[in-house]
Amino acid sequence: MATILISGIGGQDGSYLAEQSLAAGHRVVGLLRTGRASRAPENVECVEWDFVSKEGLRAVLRDVRPAHFYNLAAFSTGAGMYDDAVAIGELNGVAVARMLQAIVDVDPEIRFCQASSSEMFGDPIVVPQTEATPFRPLSPYAAAKLFAHTVVNSFRMHRCVFACSAILYNHESPRRGPAFVTRKIVDAVARVRAGDTGKLLLGDLDAQRDWGYAPDYVRAMRLMLAHDRPCDYVVATGELHSVREFCELAFSHAGLDWREWVEGGAADVRQDRRGPRVGDATKLRNTLGWRPETDFGTLVRIMVDAAIASTDARMTT
């Protein structure tokens, strides 16, 4: 039974990773940020670290003795990738360097996986994007993620750490935070179905995303650390779908016409997105045998059903 250490365990990806790891028979430990409330899944131990102290993390690694360390923690609010650039740089970038240095200092055999982001491609010059596509970050969030991505590469090449980066494209689930557009849409469906007459105000309905299902992407990260060689991989579906299409599928699944309930406008417009951002996961497919198991339509239906069930449960209590 291996010990799995997960930062960001209270988030969408962390919760699914914990569940998959526990189901595989592993011991799971959540790395929580000191002083920050976070809910961990059942049967998960938790330790704290302030994400600043190098000695503090070294003590955690000595005590926990993980075989695998996944860094899924990140400062982001969906549309708020420009909020507090200093904190974003510290938590999403510099903290990763501390993690890798602590691994070198305590146990270089620990395998490390960094949750990188397609945001690093910014306004891409190549479509679709692969691991070799040039990065052009356009926000503090993307720049910090690129710093962390580069540090992972450096420690792998020069310090012989088994360190991988998963370049994750948009991935959703019922556990996605309420600030993200997919959750806003499915929550609106549930409210309308329950009798709410308010309209959902969104930004550019024609904006397109490469949307996948979070448990599939977590499975990809687990495959990366189970492989015999560390490497970076794009994790994506290779398909683009518009916000309009997401709305149409979500509302129709509940027997509603989205056009009666959704208005496009200035709300939540992401000015940093100009080029089509869609990933090519050929390397991941050919090397690790990964394919997404949940298609776009199924993802939307899963999220709508969960939102409706949650709303119905609140109304009956």
Annotated active-site positions, please? 117, 119, 141
CA-to-CA distance for 131 and 223, rounded, in angstroms? Answer: 17
Single out the residue of 72, 60, 56, 21 nearest to residue 42, CA to CA. Answer: 21
